[in-house]
Amino acid sequence: MRTQWMAAAAAVLLAAAPARGLAQQAAAQETGPVVAEAAVGTSVADRQLQGAADSFPATVGTLYCFTKIGQTQSGATIEHVWYHGDVEVGRKQLNIGGSPWRTWSSKLIPADATGDWRVDVVADSKVLKSVSFKVQ
C-alpha cells in the first residue's frame, strides 16, 4: 500500500512539472522583455558594443545604443527612444527574434548637441532601462 501511494505521488509530481515550466514561461511572456544589458558606445562589431562610456566628445559623430534582452517571447518589440536633455530626438522600433537577443540603434550626434543625453529602452509604453550619457 505504501509503495502504491509513493508511486501515485511521484506520478502527480512528474505530471505537474511541465505545467510549472509552462506557467513560468507564460509569466515571463506576460511581463514582457527583460533587459539584461544596455549601454551606449561608438560602434558595434561582431554583435558586441565597442567604445562604451558615460561621456563622449562633441566630435563623436554616431553613437550606438546596444541592448541585450535576456528573456522574452519571440516576436516581441522594444523601442530605443533617444533624448537630448528632455527633448525626444529619435525613436527606433526593434524586433526581438528570440531569447536571449542582442539589438541596437544608432543616432548621429551633431557637434553642437552637447549636454545631457539618454536612451530609454521601452516596451508597451514602459521604460525598461534608461542609459544616460554626456556629450562634451
What pLDDT digit, counting tens, does each position of 51-77 carry? Answer: 999 999 999 999 999 999 998 887 899
> Whole-model pTM above 0.95?
no
Cis peptide before 100 (omega within 30 of 0): yes
**Do residues 79 and 59 both lie within one domain?**
yes
**Do residues 26 and 40 both lie within one domain?**
no
pLDDT higher than 70, residue 28: no
**Do residues 74 and 109 both lie within one domain?**
yes
Whether 72 and 101 have beta carbons less than 8 Å apart is answered as yes
Phi, psi of 46 (to 5 degrees): 50, 45
pLDDT higher than 60, residue 90: yes
Local confidence band at 30 (pLDDT 50, 70, 90 cut-offs): low
Quick one: cell of 124?
508597451
* Full strand arrangement of the beta sheet holding 101-108: 34-41, 62-71, 101-108
Range with top average pLDDT, 18-27, 31-40, 64-73, 87-96: 87-96
Residue ranges making up the domain that contains 44: 33-135
